[in-house]
Amino acid sequence: MSEECSHNCNSCGADCNDRTQSQNFHKQPHQLSKIKKVIGVVSGKGGVGKSFVTSLLALHMNRKGKKTAILDADITGPSVPRMFGIKEKAMGSEVGIYPVSTENGIKIMSVNLLLENETDPVIWRGPILSGMVEQFWTDVIWDEIDVMFIDMPPGTGDVPLTVFQSIPLDGIVVVASPQELVSMIVSKSVNMAEKMNVPVLGIVENMSYYQCPDCGKRHSIFGESHVEVIARDYGITTIAKLPIEPEATNACDNGKIEDFYGESTKCIDEVFDII
């Protein structure tokens, strides 16, 4: 402790052993936004279907009559607008930026809604990416939202850290796939949430199995599941296992995710009533 210490830890950036209060870096949303609950959707690696799960969770709450939003924080790999078939661009004024609504009223903000072409690459360094995510929170006029889902980029780098620190998360949902290596990667995401004092609401194992339409037998295409072991180790009781569904892939590719209702949807509806 410095001799000049004011004993006000909230205004101090020093990392000392005498700190008595944790620093709060949370940013305030736009003054015209009223957001009741914020859920982050995270994964330790890419390619596990995190954006798909984010969309299913948003659809789940939307179908329950909740005012729902998706903040697409995966700036370099945005896919949410394409899944919902959104073609229009986000508009703004001197007051702020307005999100785009889907056919069923889910409000979405993504960098692809600002780019001239959806295939334009976003070649930015970490601080600029993090700043964009903060702007999606502070400068977008979300209006009244019951539940917002934040689709985070994979890993535990700059942008996920910015979300954890800048946005008041009520919890996270971890998305994984069945490979044995994933257990270590999932552990990283769960440990990060614990360090940031954010509760883990559940784990979704995507591509858990493929069910043969002829015989009904389930095949573990990507290996046997280890999600129960991970969940038990961390005291997580909510687990969803989503199958491989070609219909879901087609719906996402064609911008018709809102029209899709398959086994994955049913599983999310049954398991995630806690949100």
Residues 112 and 78 sit within 8 Å (Cβ to Cβ) = yes
pLDDT at 67 over 90: yes
Residue 11's pLDDT band (cuts 50, 70, 90): very low
Helix residue ranges, H only, the chain:
50-63, 80-83, 126-138, 158-166, 182-195, 227-233, 246-253, 263-271
Task: Quick: pLDDT tens for 33-66.
Answer: 999 999 999 998 888 999 999 999 999 999 999 9
CB atoms within 10 A of CB 259: 11
Q: Tell me, what's the pLDDT at 274?
A: 64
Non-local CB neighbours of 9 within 8 Å, separated by 6+ positions:
19, 20, 21, 22, 23
Residue 135 and residue 177: Cα distance in Å, rounded?
31
Burial of 238 (0-12, 13-18, 19+ CB in 10 A): middle
Sequence letter at residue 137:
W
Non-local CB neighbours of 216 within 8 Å, separated by 6+ positions:
none
Task: Quick: pLDDT tens for 196-205.
Answer: 999 999 999 9
Residue 152 and residue 145: Cα distance in Å, rounded?
19
Residue 147's pLDDT band (cuts 50, 70, 90): very high
Burial of 234 (0-12, 13-18, 19+ CB in 10 A): middle
Q: At what angle do helices 246-253 and 50-63 cross, to 10 degrees?
A: 90
φ, ψ for residue 260 (rounded to 5)?
-85, 135
pLDDT at 168 over 70: yes
* Residue 73 in tokens: 């924080």
